[in-house]
Amino acid sequence: MATLPGWVMLVVKFGGSLLAIFAIAWLVKRMGLGKGYERIRDEAHAIALAEEAEFGFGGVAADVDAAGYGAIVRNATGVMLLVRAHGNRFAARRIDAGFTARLDRNRLWLQSGERAFGSVELDFGGRASVIASRLRTVI
Amino acid sequence: MIPDLPKPVDIAVPLFVAAILAEMWIVQRRNRAAYEPRDTLTSLILGFGNTVAGAMTAGAAGAVAMWTYEYRLVTIGWTWWAWITAFVAYDLSYYWAHRAGHRIRWFWASHVIHHSSQHYNLSTALRQTWTGFIGLSFIFSMPLFFLGFHPAMIAFCAGLNLIYQFWIHTEAIDRMPRWFEWMFNTPSHHRVHHATNPRYLDANYAGVFMLWDRMFGSFTPEDDVDPIRYGLVRQLGSFNILWAATHEWVGIARDLRRAPWQAKLGYIVMPPGWSHDGSRDTSDSIKARWRDREQPRGESRSPMPEAAE
């Protein structure tokens, strides 16, 4: 029996793998996996998430976005940590001079210095301008 | 004569797919947050990239292996005891390659991709390196070729080793029987390995046999009072596939560019997080802070892993 050329086998192998990958990813979504995203409930939750993200950070206060999507946590030395949702988990970055911030009424737009970490828009209500002025000390 | 050996991982792929589907079915009933569609897609594509990268570098890796084998001390051959010895010996070499993969930044740059998910499910197992050849982890197998194990035998054992490690990437299994937990790597032991909690950092490097961690002081058991969080000490916060595969290499390049000459080598051979001015955290410094905080309270009930030197 004639066997297929090597390159055909390779295409079949890689093509089959890609098909399986996209089929599984589609199924994960179709089955509703990943739903029920956890959001930041309150200040204490934000401080706990900051401690998980950076052991020993020692958050003492936090401003939480209205939708619970993100928060800015401060420690006793005034260092600020941006905590934001990443899928159904959280990721954080220290707010430093590499960040860019823009205030638009109640909403604060923050862009980290890392392109892959991206930007976040947080609704802080009437506190947004106070938070923005606090950010100006580091950004 | 060299037997015509199949590639075990190629044969196991349908099993991987079936196991992932079964886990998804379980997760749908127990904890839907255990999966995340974008995370799963990232893991699977990274696994695909690993296959492509492996195919591209297999020739070069094979040539290095065969060259080393030419200078072997003895010819071990293809007897049954050689297979068993090769499997155990490869697992020992894997332990040290894996430990180096966490303790030396150059090796970590290649391995970090596997830890970059904040989820722990069977798709995470497939999140494998694209830069293994550049990462040089194959040098840990070279003593086996020099001893006299044929590279094809070691490649086969490496495939079996990798297949074994697939099923332990799950939260769907709590604990195995006590004797099994003592002897073998299990979901519980490997959850600890993927944890970012200070208590669990740099622990449980085993591939198949847990014996190596127990022997070399890197074993830490899972403690139910400290639920595991997965991923990296500094989470990526991105589903970007290229960034997941290359970010630590980019980090090394940036550090090499900025560091003073006398510090440059440190950014390659020192543990991840090391910096010449001490401005960053390593796993050792995080664990030290954790010990300072927890031990006076008597809350550290699990033995701490030894700092790998």
Q: CB A118 to CB B45 under 8 A?
A: no
Over residues B204-260, the pLDDT tens digits come to 999 999 999 999 999 999 999 999 999 999 999 999 999 999 999 999 999 999 999
Contact of B28 with chain A, judged by CB distance below 8 Å, is answered with yes
A87-96, B123-132, B208-217, B300-309: range with lowest mean pLDDT: B300-309
Give the residue from A28, A39, A110 with the most B CB atoms within 10 Å of its CB, the best one to mutate: A28
What does the pLDDT average to over B252-269?
97
Neighbours of B277 (CB within 10 A): 8
Which percentage of chain B shows pLDDT scores above 70? 95
A7-11, A94-98, B131-135, B215-219: range with lowest mean pLDDT: A7-11
Partners of A110 in the β-ladder: A101, A120
The domain limits of chain B are 8-180, 241-297
Q: CB B237 to CB A91 under 8 A?
A: yes
ipTM of the complex: 0.91
Contact of B184 with chain A, judged by CB distance below 8 Å, is answered with no
pLDDT at A13: 84
**Residue B94, pLDDT above cutoff 70:** yes
Q: CB A92 to CB B35 under 8 A?
A: no
Confidence of residue B10 (pLDDT cuts 50, 70, 90): confident
Largest CA distance in chain A: 77
Over residues B26-57, the pLDDT tens digits come to 999 999 999 999 999 999 999 999 999 998 99
pLDDT at A12: 86
pLDDT at B302: 45
pLDDT at B301: 47
DSSP code, position B100? H
**Residue B306, pLDDT above cutoff 50:** no
Neighbours of B249 (CB within 10 A): 17
Which percentage of chain B shows pLDDT scores above 90? 91
pLDDT at B298: 58
**Residue B307, pLDDT above cutoff 50:** no
DSSP H or E run through B41: helix B37-70
Among residues B187, B188, B189, the alpha carbon closest in space to that of B167 is found at B187
Q: Comparing B2 with A55, which gets the higher pLDDT?
A: A55
Over residues A91-112, the pLDDT tens digits come to 999 999 999 999 999 999 999 9
pLDDT at B149: 97
Q: Return d(Cα B189, Cα B73) in angstroms, integer.
A: 36
The domain limits of chain A are 1-35, 43-135
- Which residue on chain B is closest to A26 by alpha carbon? B37
Q: How far does A117 lie from chain B, in Å, by closest CA? A: 5
pLDDT at A4: 76
**Residue A1, pLDDT above cutoff 70:** no
What does the pLDDT average to over A52-72?
97
Please report the number of interchain residue pairs, chain A to chain B, with beta-carbon separation below 8 angstroms. 109
Q: What share of chain B is helix, strand, coil (3-state, %, to 5)?
A: 60, 0, 35
Confidence of residue B297 (pLDDT cuts 50, 70, 90): low
Q: CB B118 to CB A87 under 8 A?
A: yes
pLDDT at A38: 82
- Which residue on chain A is closest to B13 by alpha carbon? A17
